[in-house]
Amino acid sequence: MSHILRRQGWVAGLFALLIILFIVTKLIQPGYGSGDFGSLARAVLPYAFAVAAQTIVVIAGGIDLSVAAMMALTSVTAASMMAGASEEYALFVVPFVLAMGLVLGALNGVLIVVTRVPDIVVTLAMLFVLQGAALLVLDAPGGAAAEWLKATIVGTVPIPGLPDTVEAWLPKALLLLVVCLCIIWIPLRRSRLGLSIYAIGSSELAAFRSGVPVARTRIAAYAFSGLFAAMGGLALTMSTGIGAPIPGPYLLASVAAVVLGGVALGGGKGGLLGPIVAVFVLRLVRTDLTLLAIDPNVTAIIEGVIMVAVVMFGAFITMRSRQS
């Protein structure tokens, strides 16, 4: 009971932090409005999917170093397939790329199970492989995205009966994020498989002895991670309109947000909500620093220091609670 309280307390604390940050933002830039919130949601989108991909693997007691490379590969694949193709063709591209992410993620899992090499090494090797594959697909940023796909994250959600002022705070990107995550996460969390994922992360031996199919569960966790990463890749293509073969800073950001979100790196603890809120917090900090007209390079330093400080604080709290 106290454990649940502590976990929810962590997420609630993050929400409070997010609200404080919004207030700070409003103080710095009194003109900060719905349009800026929309662009924040769009900026968060690829990060949020990367974090979701990392979260599920970390809960299962692993780590996925190939998240960013997977996003790069799926992004260039989608962009190069859609280049010069008709609008309708994209209807085929999206499921294809998602399936690709699922399969490549499952491959990660299969390799870990079959070779028995530590997951950190397998996903590191996969990082090389996926990066290389992305370079083979497109050796320079390029490709294109279908117009309707780009439009799905621009603008706001029209809901009849709501005044425009409220509607303006519901960007499509946010809706897309919530829908995509909920569609997968909520059924998964309530299913047997979801419970198994938590079980193998908590104690693999205990899970095995209780009859959890450890190998299958691990593969499934990595497959879902790949699926989320593919969504992230698509989100990248959707927001930029092209695909870039060089992975972005999503690996570090995903791990930091996972920790900040209250998911123990040992596995078996935490949920998806915390890390997602953490992503918003981290991105909003960046927005604030930009609004304060701070040199972007100094921004990178401050962002890093904040990330490290928060992680240190989190580790300190965990240590204290373990001792008492």
Partner 1 sequence: MSSAATVPQAPSFGRRLKRFMADRPIVPLVILLVALVVILQILRPGIVNERWIANTVKFAIPLAILAGCQTMTMLTGGIDLSVGTVATMSAFIMATQIVNQDPTVAFLLAMTPAVLIGLVNGIGVGVFRVHPLIMTLGTSLIGTGFLQVYQRTVIASGAKIPDFLNWLGTGVSFGFPNALLLFIPVAVFIVFTLNRTGFGRLLYAVGDNERATRLSGVRYWQVILALYILSSLLAGITGLLYIGLIKAPSLSLAEPLVLPSVAAAVIGGTSIFGGRGGYAGTIVGALILTVLTTLLTILQMPEGARRMLFGAIVLLVTAAYLRITEDR
Give min distance, CB of 279 to partner 1, in A: 15
Cα(287)–Cα(303) distance, integer angstroms:
11
Cα(91)–Cα(86) distance, integer angstroms:
10
CA-based R_g, the chain, Å: 20
Cα(324)–Cα(318) distance, integer angstroms:
10
In contact, 248 and 229? CB cutoff 8 Å: no
Which residue, among 143, 30, 10, 170, has the nearest Cα to 89 in the 3D structure? 143
**CB-based contacts of 12, cutoff 8 Å, min separation 6:** none
Q: Of 23, 120, 159, 179, which lies in the binding site for partner 1, with binding defined by CB under 8 A?
A: 120
Which residue, among 177, 199, 197, 215, has the nearest Cα to 50 in the 3D structure? 177
Query: Does residue 158 interact with partner 1 by CB under 8 A?
Result: no
Give min distance, CB of 140 to partner 1, in A: 11
Nearer to partner 1, 3 or 116 (CB): 116
Query: Does residue 131 interact with partner 1 by CB under 8 A?
Result: yes
Query: Does residue 305 interact with partner 1 by CB under 8 A?
Result: yes
Q: Of 68, 146, 244, 259, which lies in the binding site for partner 1, with binding defined by CB under 8 A?
A: 259
Site string for partner 1, 220-249 (x = CB under 8 A): -----------------------------x
Nearer to partner 1, 116 or 192 (CB): 116
Query: Does residue 134 interact with partner 1 by CB under 8 A?
Result: yes
Which residue, among 115, 133, 104, has the nearest Cα to 222 in the 3D structure? 104
Query: Does residue 140 interact with partner 1 by CB under 8 A?
Result: no
Q: What is the dihedral of CA 90, 94, 97, 98, to 10 degrees?
A: -170
Give min distance, CB of 277 to partner 1, in A: 18
Give min distance, CB of 151 to partner 1, in A: 32
Site string for partner 1, 78-117 (x = CB under 8 A): ---------------------------------x---xxx
Q: Of 20, 23, 136, 179, which lies in the binding site for partner 1, with binding defined by CB under 8 A?
A: 136
What token pair was written down for 130?
A: 């996926």
Cα(278)–Cα(48) distance, integer angstroms:
9
Give min distance, CB of 254 to partner 1, in A: 11
**CB-based contacts of 103, cutoff 8 Å, min separation 6:** 223, 226
Give min distance, CB of 65 to partner 1, in A: 9
Q: Of 125, 175, 184, 215, which lies in the binding site for partner 1, with binding defined by CB under 8 A?
A: 125
Which residue, among 113, 88, 49, 36, has the nearest Cα to 257 in the 3D structure? 49
Q: Of 60, 98, 255, 279, which lies in the binding site for partner 1, with binding defined by CB under 8 A?
A: 255
**CB-based contacts of 274, cutoff 8 Å, min separation 6:** 7, 10, 11, 14, 260, 261, 262, 263
Q: Which residues bind partner 1 (CB under 8 A)?
A: 63, 111, 115-118, 120-122, 124-137, 139, 249, 251-252, 255-256, 259, 265, 295, 297-301, 303-305, 307-308, 311-313, 315-316, 318-319
